[in-house]
Structure 1
Amino acid sequence: MSRHVLYLLLGSNIQRPLKQLAIARDLLQKHLGKIIKVSSIFKTAAWGAHDQPNFFNQVIKLQSTRKAITILRIVKNIEVLMGRASGPQWGPRIIDIDLLFYGQTKINSKELILPHPLLESRRFALVPLAEIAPNFRHPITQKSMLYLLNVCPDSLPVKKVKHA
Structure 2
Amino acid sequence: MTETPNPHIVDADTLTGEMRPIRRAVLALGSNLGERMTALQGAINALADTPDVWITGVSPVYETVPVDSPVEAKNYLNAVVLIDTTLAATRLMDRALAIEDAFDRERSEVPNSPRTLDVDLIVVGDRRSDDEHLRLPHPRAAQRAFVLKPWFDLEPDAEFPDAGPISELLATIGTDGLTPRDDLTLELE
Same fold (TM over 0.5): yes
The question of whether the paired residues in 1 share the 8 Å contact of 2:149 and 2:175 is answered with no
The one of 88, 93, 98 aligned to 2:115: 93
Q: In structure 1, how many angstroms separate the alpha carbons of the residues matched to 2:161 and 2:126?
A: 5
Gaps of 5+ in 2: 1-19
Larger Rg: 2
Residues in 2 aligned to 1:155 and 1:30: alpha-carbon distance in whole angstroms? 32
Letter in 2 for 1:2: P
Contact (CA 8 Å) 1:17, 1:94: kept in 2 or not?
yes
* Alpha-carbon offset, residue 47 of structure 1: 1.1
Residue in 2 aligned with 1:47? 67
In the alignment of these two chains, the number of paired residues is 162
Alignment of 1:1-164 (within 5 A): 1-31=20-50, 33-49=53-69, 50-87=71-108, 88-141=110-163, 143-152=164-173, 156-162=176-182
Determine helix, strand or coil for the equivalent of 1:78: helix
TM-score scaled to structure 1, two decimals?
Answer: 0.92
Check whether the contact 1:9–1:98 (CA below 8 A) recurs between aligned residues.
Answer: yes
Distance in 2 of aligned mates of 1:132 and 1:2: 23
CA distance in 2, matches of 1:156, 1:92: 20
Report the CA distance shift for 1:15/1:113 in structure 2 as closer, same or farther (over 3 A).
same
Which TM-score applies when normalising by structure 2?
Answer: 0.80
The alpha-carbon deviation at position 31 of structure 1 amounts to 1.7
Is the contact made by 1:106 and 1:139 (CA closer than 8 Å) also made in structure 2?
Answer: no
Cα deviation, residue 126, structure 1: 1.1
Shift of 1:110: 2.5
Is contact 1:104–1:138 with CA below 8 Å preserved after alignment? no
Q: Output the amino acid matched with 1:124.
A: F
CA apart distance, 1:51: 2.0
